[in-house]
Each structure stands twice: as C-alpha cells, then as structure tokens.
Amino acid sequence: MPEIPEIRAHAERLEALAAGEVLKRVEPLSFTAFKTASPPPSDAVGWPLRSVGQRAKYLLLRFAPPPHEPTTGESGLTFVVHLMQGGRLRVLEPGANRPRRPRDGLARFEFDSGLGLMLTEPGTQKRAGVWVLAGDPAGAKPLSGTSFEAIDATSAASVNPLIGLGPEATDVDPASMAELMAAHSARLHNFLRDQRVISGLGRRMANEICHRAKLSPFASTAKLDAEAVGRVVAAIGTVVDESLTAERQLAQMSRSADRPSAVHARTGEPCPACGDVVRAVEYRDYTVNYCAGCQTGGRVLADNTTSKFLR
C-alpha cells in the first residue's frame, strides 16, 4: 500500500499539473467509488482545484468557489481519496481516449481544459474510494476508537476517514513518541503500522525503520528507553526522506517492488549494513523482514505468530 512518501510525492505532481483547473464533470464509474452521499460530488463542478495535499495515506483534492461566487456555510469541498493496495489516481491527458466504462475505473474527474484524473484499482474487491467532505477535513479532531479500518460499510458512508488517525509519523518528536509508546504497549512493528497511534506508515516502512533503528520488530514499545525512542524517530525521518527523494524523481507513482529497501522483501539477500542474511517472519497476510546481525544481537526470531518479544 502506498505510504507517506508515495502519497506525498503524487500529491505534489498532481498539484503542479492541475492546480487552478476548473472542474467540468465528476462521475462514478463504479457504485463503490463514492463513500459519502452528502454533499454531492457535483457541487464542486465549476470550481477550480485549489490544492492537492496529503494526510497519512490519503490524497486531499481541495476545490473552492471563485472569490466572486456567493457561498453559504463552509467554503469549498475536499475529495479525500484512499488508494488502498493497488489503486492509482491516473492522469488523463487532454484528447486521450476516455472509455465509457474502463475495466479498472472507479471514478473520473474532467476539467475544462480537457485534462482528466481517473481513480483506478485492479482486481475485484474495489476497496479504493472517495469521500466528499465540506471544508478542509484535514484539521478534524481525532475520535477515540475510530479508524478507517475499523468502521463498517454503513458507517463509512457518513464518517470522515481522517477522524481517528494518529499524528503524522513525520511530525512526531522524541518526547511525543515516548508518550505514545508508553500509552500503547505493542510490538514495535505493529505500533508503527497502527494508524490510530501514528499514521502514514505501512509494512515496508515499518520493516525499514526497525532495521535503521537497529531494533527488533518484536521489541516492546513499553520497554524502549529514551535513546531507543530517539533512534526510532530519527529512522522515521531518514527512511521517509530517502523514499520521498526517490519518488520525486518519477513521473508517476512507483510500483511496490521498485521502492527502496534494505530489508523489506529481501528475504535471503545479504544485509547491506552488516552482510548477514535478511530473514523473515511469515504471517498469513504479510511478512516481517529483519536482520539478526543488526537488530537482535544475532538471535533468529521464530517464524510463527507466537514468537516472543526480543529486546
């Protein structure tokens, strides 16, 4: 799933390309595309795209009426887009073919200039989608116990998916991180991926951050001292910056296999830091990669879900 670097770089590309473009039409290509019913997406027709931003793993397309147009209530609409695992918000160049019902298409935005954006997702599950929210939802206050992953399909139709997200991982300083870890005791790898605690990181970056911080992915967050917490915060900044630099060199979002990594998806390869073999703990839905030489003092983690914490 795209994480902070991929979403942030894509937001920058889209803003450079489409900021100021006036929305001509927005249409669902799948009944699963729009997760909210009110306000209707068509309310943004005739408005320019003011900016494209990023919050955690979400793209934020902000539309607002021209200054001379009278408005009531909150000014503007934000389209909150979640790409899920394989979704993409693809650019449609002016004059390009627009199939009426593209196989992978979920929703399409058309601008007066002929430029277009199409939300696509391969496969049959079609979990990517769009929430249309009044104003700027990025500043919404967290709601305890609520997250995008936890809500059911009925609730998803009316909730702001940004409510319930923890602070952006890149915004957390060592003192705040220590407080979060003390309040949320968990294995470090799980902690880093919990969007309710800190947001924007996923499996690849959790693997890379644990490796860069030289900590076991199974280390208990409640037992990390201040020096180890500082290493985690520094590793988040470094890993995100390196991935963002790589992503900004591309014309479109990278494929998962092409994203930079030292240990993620490199089972059996030599660790670039110490030369030890990169190992894996396999779960049903994902893999934790690590280097025993760098992270666990040479101890090999049991490859099952009952592995004990290693400090």
Cα 311 to the chain's mean position, in Å? Answer: 29
Grade residue 75 by pLDDT with cuts at 50, 70 and 90: confident
Average pLDDT of every residue of the chain: 89
**pLDDT reported for residue 114:** 96
CA distances from 263 to 170, 270, 310 (A): 21, 9, 18
Between CA 40 and CA 68 the distance in angstroms is: 22
The answer to whether 97 touches 81, Cβ cutoff 8 Å, is no
- What's the average model confidence in pLDDT over 125-147? 69
Residue type, 164: G
pTM of the model: 0.88
Residue type, 110: E
217 against 157, higher pLDDT: 217
- The greatest distance separating any two alpha carbons of the chain, rounded to the nearest whole angstrom, comes to 67
pLDDT tens for residues 186-207? 999 999 999 999 999 999 999 9
Cα 46 to the chain's mean position, in Å? Answer: 29
- What's the average model confidence in pLDDT over 45-61? 97
- What's the average model confidence in pLDDT over 29-43? 92
- What's the average model confidence in pLDDT over 143-162? 50
- What's the average model confidence in pLDDT over 163-187? 97
Buried b (16+ CB within 10 A) or exposed e, 148-180: beebeeeeeeebbbbbbbbbbbbebeeeebbeb
| CA torsion, ordered 99, 105, 107, 109, to nearest 10 deg | -50
* Percent over 70 (pLDDT), the chain: 88
**pLDDT reported for residue 304:** 60
Grade residue 147 by pLDDT with cuts at 50, 70 and 90: very low
> 183: which residues sit within 8 A by CB, 6+ positions away?
none
